[in-house]
Amino acid sequence: MKKSFAVIGLGRFGSSIVTTLAETGHEVLAIDSNEDRVNEYMNIATHAVVANAQDESVLKSLGIRNFDTVVVAIGENLQASILVTLMVKEMKVKSVWAKALDSYHARVLEKIGADRVIHPERDMGVRIAHSLIANNFVDYFEISPDFSMAEIKVFNPKFINHTLQDLSFPKRFNVQISAIKSATGDVTIATADTIIHERDSILVVGKTQDVEYLDEILYRV
């Protein structure tokens, strides 16, 4: 079932969320107090409105409480970010995601009930740093401070043209392989019979230290 979203604040962060949600066929209401920004998203979002989200009656008239998820993507204006998050939560929206500028801002957003607090700059920095450290991470996601998921390119010939069953990743490396991506971008869910071909990359989940160790092994030629 398609979910409905409202995104408040069309800076770089909010606008890329709106664009991606719209591109993936989701209903998205885009709200910003800046008319020029709203005009840019008129033809992208399902609806785009110029409104001051700090005005509770405006939020009510937009039917904010009927959306499955509301993203508060206001950054610089702390007062607006906090007040809007609080009001949307009071309207009993089930899932409210809010952008934080720093850890103090994040603590306040958590305290007033934001269901998910996002730190885009910090999270992207962590992700990029792991890609820099690793040999051949194509992409990297931190699941928790100790666990991660990485897309790793396979160069080591010992792993090419073998099934996942033969390679026994869980036993040898303490990680799970969830999918394989070919050089052309086709993704296959991993099963015991899946074969790793030349130039494939694998989607690996495990403890960060195990994922990083596997990265080293897969890089060897």
Binding residues for ligand ATP, rule: CB under 6 A, are 8-14, 31-34, 37, 52-54, 74-77, 80
Q: What residue number has its CB nearest to ligand ATP?
A: 75
DSSP state of 213: H
CB of 23 to ligand ATP, least distance (A): 18
The C-alpha torsion from 43 through 47 and 50 to 52, rounded to 10°, is -140
| DSSP symbols for 116-168 | EEE-HHHHHHHHHHHHHHSSSEEEEEESSSSEEEEEEE---GGGTTEEHHHHT
CB of 115 to ligand ATP, least distance (A): 20
CB of 131 to ligand ATP, least distance (A): 21
On whether the CB atoms of residues 116 and 139 are closer than 8 A, the answer is no
Q: Which is nearer to ligand ATP, 54 or 69 (CB)?
A: 54
Q: Which is nearer to ligand ATP, 8 or 150 (CB)?
A: 8
Task: Report the alpha-carbon distance of residue 61 to residue 81 in Å, rounded.
Answer: 19
Residue 98: exposure state from Cβ atoms within 10 A (0-12, 13-18, ≥19): buried
Q: Which is nearer to ligand ATP, 74 or 177 (CB)?
A: 74
CB of 52 to ligand ATP, least distance (A): 5
Q: Which is nearer to ligand ATP, 72 or 164 (CB)?
A: 72
Q: Which two tokens stand for residue 193?
A: 């019979």
207 residue type, one letter: K
Q: Which is nearer to ligand ATP, 101 or 134 (CB)?
A: 101
CB of 32 to ligand ATP, least distance (A): 4
